[in-house]
Amino acid sequence: MLFKKNVVLRDGTNVLIESLTGKENIREFQRFINTLTGEGAYLLVDKPVTFKEEKQWLKAQIQAHKKGEQIYIKALANDHLIGDCFAKPGFGRNHGNKNLGIAIKKQWRGKGLGNIMLKELILLSEEKWHPKNVFMHVVSSNKNALSLYESLGFRKIAHLPQWFEYYGKYLDEIVLILEKN
């Protein structure tokens, strides 16, 4: 599935959002994830990744995207990676449930990019899979993420107490499901 679109953020910046092409710059992706882990973002990756790890990870994402096993969209401003998001089906009997995830580089947040990317991702997922459930996990203190997801039509369906390990503490996590129209 090839997807490519030019969008304009709230501050007027032009951003290209597109699916993985296979020509991604590994260092750019490594810098992106390591900046996020460095700031202590609420992501599953908990420590810096090496070039080798990132290379293997990226190769797996490109293959999975090309085979149609997931949707992976990146956002570029002046050819630099500023955000990414994915939709992944669960395993086996869970394949009807699609899990979404997203991360935007710090200086690019609050400009509407998360909103734009998730809307596109939801449309692409619905077109491709007609999913039974579209869901997201979020740390309960991640208020910006929660308000964004709720504004897109996600509804809280579960509270997982002390679920997400974060620097030696366990934080509560919320599961949200996209309401059907």
Ligand X SMILES: CC(C)(COP(=O)(O)OP(=O)(O)OC[C@H]1O[C@@H](n2cnc3c(N)ncnc32)[C@H](O)[C@@H]1OP(=O)(O)O)[C@@H](O)C(=O)NCCC(=O)NCCS
Binding site for ligand X (CB under 6 A): 41-43, 102-104, 109-115, 138, 142, 144-145, 147-148, 151
Name the burial class of residue 131, with classes exposed (0-12), middle (13-18) and buried (19+) by CB atoms within 10 angstroms of its CB: middle
Kindly tell me the sign of the dihedral angle through the C-alpha atoms of 65, 112, 126, 150. positive
Closest separation between CB of residue 9 and ligand X, Å? Answer: 8
CB-CB contact of 173 with 140 (8 Å): yes
Question: Minimal CB distance to ligand X: which residue?
Answer: 114
Closest separation between CB of residue 27 and ligand X, Å? Answer: 20
Q: Give the C-alpha separation, 146 to 141, whole Å.
A: 8
Nearer to ligand X, 63 or 151 (CB): 151
Nearer to ligand X, 89 or 114 (CB): 114
Nearer to ligand X, 15 or 20 (CB): 15
Which tokens hold the place of 104?
Answer: 């935007």
Nearer to ligand X, 58 or 113 (CB): 113
Question: In the 8-state DSSP scheme, what is residue 44?
Answer: S
Q: Give the C-alpha separation, 176 to 101, whole Å.
A: 12
Closest separation between CB of residue 67 and ligand X, Å? Answer: 25
Tell me the one-letter amino acid at 160: L
Nearer to ligand X, 34 or 66 (CB): 34
